[in-house]
Amino acid sequence: MRRGTRILCGLSAVAALAIAPAAQAAENPYERGPDPTENSIEAVRGPFSVSQTTVSSLVSGFGGGTIYYPTSTAEGTFGAIAISPGFTARQSSIAWMGPRLASQGFVVITIDTNSIYDQPSSRGDQLRAALSYLTNSSSVRSRIDASRLAVAGHSMGGGGSLEAAQDQPTLQAAIPLAPWNTQKSWSNLRVPTFVIGGENDSVASVSSHAIPFYNSIPASAEKAYMEMNNASHFFPNTSNTTVAKYMVSWLKRFVDNDTRYEQFLCPAPDDRDIEEYRDTCPHAA
């Protein structure tokens, strides 16, 4: 090979290496944070520093709450998730999820409901109102990508997250935790949904709530069911590494379309804290 040709080939190779990361980033502009590891998704705090701000109970549509958000905007905007507590509970019961999820690269609002007695349908409406507030009126709205939104909730709040997902199919993910709802069929739901139940739940038993909910969701929506070993109805009320790591993985996979997290969901997780796991792997969405 002539020297000039070798130089041109070398320059082409360098150029290709320089272009490759940009091309890769262009394939998924929503990736946030370093490559994940088992340790990183189990960590109490992820790679992003987090701040928080209070939302007044005088806002319209829900009972106020707390927003947790990454302080840095160097990587662009973030997906957002609204989380509702359960019947008679306040946002303090699920507050641990706020900073934990936000530190992984999400804007999170934990809400209080208009009344602690609100039923799932109302909680679903309030979750959607909270997302609307986040993206349109909140002080952190410029940090949020309004096309990448999700909902979650505990107990009636979990039932509310199913209601919200069915009513707003543009949502990217839903995570009902120990969900309770009198409606058992969610055949019209099209949002990727991760149902988490407790084996020993005597309030919303998995046999009459979480499992029928999961079974009724079309596989085409993408779904998973995780049953926590020996867990009561109140497992979402205290910091839980197993719950958090798979919530993070689900949100990353479907809100951020970040396939780096697929490894933690497919094949099904093998964790001693998990009694049972069902899924629609491999994920096509």
Active site positions, annotated: 155, 201, 233
> From the centroid of its chain, how far is CA 23?
27
3-class SS at 142?
helix
Q: Are 227 and 199 in contact (CB under 8 A)?
A: yes
Q: Which residues of 231-268 are buried (b: 16+ CB within 10 A; e: fewer)?
A: bebbbbbeebebbbbbbbbbbbbbbbbbebbeebbbee
Cα separation, 123 vs 80, in Å, equals: 17
User: Within the chain, what is the greatest distance between any pair of CA atoms?
Assistant: 81
Cα separation, 191 vs 60, in Å, equals: 25
Q: Are 111 and 62 in contact (CB under 8 A)?
A: yes
What residue type is assigned to position 178 of the chain? A
**What are the angstrom distances between the C-alpha of 39 and each of 35, 45, 74, 194, 268?**
11, 11, 24, 21, 18
Continuous segment of H or E residues that includes residue 107: strand 106-111
Cα separation, 130 vs 113, in Å, equals: 10
Token pair listed for 269: 């997780």
DSSP structural state of residue 47: S
Of 266, 184, 272, 261, which is closest to residue 228 (Cα–Cα)? 272
Q: What are the φ and ψ backbone dihedral angles of 78, each rounded to 5 degrees?
A: -125, 155
